[in-house]
Amino acid sequence: MVSKPTTLPSENNLRPKKARTGKGATAAATGTYTGLQLNKNQKADAHSAIAIRSIKIYGASKKKAAVIGKRIEGDLTTKLIESNRFDVAEKAELDRVMSEAMFEEALQGGDIKNRLQQLQGVDYILAVELRSLTAELSAEAVPYVDEVDVSKTMHTEGYIRVINTHTGRVEVAKKIFMSEPMADNMALGRSIDSFCGQAVKAILDGLHPMKILRASGDICYVNRGKNSDMEVGSSYEVYRVGEEMFDPDTGASCDAFEELVGRIKCERVEEKRSKCRIIEGTDFVLGDIVRKAAKREQKTQQPDNSLAQPLW
């Protein structure tokens, strides 16, 4: 098999959609996108408010960091609001209370709870790091015919972390790695959109997991509808949260005990909820946590960096 870097997609494909962005934004000299605007269509009765402190684009120039960062910000803002769980707060309030250095200290576990509690109307702070976006092109000879099969793959790697401003605790820390087929020059924009979708899913799973709304007979309802992870025909596990556990040596919280109480299968996805059939278990109660049943999948192979070329 012969491999070589693919041609880079046009930078125009990264430009944010107008419906998702507002004010202009700039990139810091370190390649960090720091803009954040308030989406004025957000609902006033959302459960919590989240603010994006910064979006770091590693290895990118100021210009490309601004373009990519603005696209990520727009996608994240839209997807967070569409989840019907968050308002997206203005960044100006964060800048008043917290410097970039102080925020980095919080990410490293520093005790700045008192400073965080000065934030008015902000429950969570989101940090995003995009470590790499690479395109890989591979060519392989087709047996018995004089042809070459060419495949293109986009690799995306990044991290997200969410800080609770009321406790100073990092509530969500997730690495996101994806490999997707690259069919055309719009693939880069789609990869960023997929990355943001995975990021918001991780935030929801960490802060507002899927839960049982109601159960009767062999039917139950889950508080996720369209624009969620619910899929007709997919299986899910139901857990009941018990007492919080603590490390006997340090006294640190090790989260709450969870007991598997049953399994369900999605039959219909509605606007704000999903109807499921109970496959195993009984006596589900309001608030039981629902998670997609694990599948045995082949581990995604990290790209060979000698054959992949950064897209900036």
Residue 299 neighbours by CB distance under 10 Å = 5
Average pLDDT over the chain, rounded to an integer: 76
pLDDT tens-place string over residues 52-96:
877 889 888 888 888 888 899 999 999 998 888 888 887 666 666
Predicted local distance difference test score (pLDDT) of residue 301: 55
pTM: 0.68
pLDDT tens-place string over residues 28-51:
333 444 433 333 343 434 478 898
| The residue to which tokens 């960062």 are assigned | 69
CATH of domain 210-292: 2.40.10.410
Give the domain ranges of the chain: 2-208, 210-292
Is 2-208 CATH 3.40.50?
Answer: yes
Residue 263, classified by CB atoms within 10 Å of its CB into exposed (0-12), middle (13-18) or buried (19+), is: middle
How far is residue 166's CA from residue 177's CA, in Å, rounded to a whole number? Answer: 30
Residue 99 neighbours by CB distance under 10 Å = 11
CA nearest to 255, candidates 206, 204, 211:
206
- Spell out the residues 6+ positions from residue 251 whose beta carbon is closer than 8 angstroms to its own: none
The band of 268, judged by pLDDT with boundaries at 50, 70 and 90, is: very high
pLDDT tens-place string over residues 90-116:
766 666 666 555 566 655 655 555 566
Beta bridge partners of 4: 137
Equal fold, 2-208 vs 210-292: no
How far is residue 292's CA from residue 220's CA, in Å, rounded to a whole number? Answer: 15
The CA radius of gyration of the chain, in Å to the nearest whole number, is 22
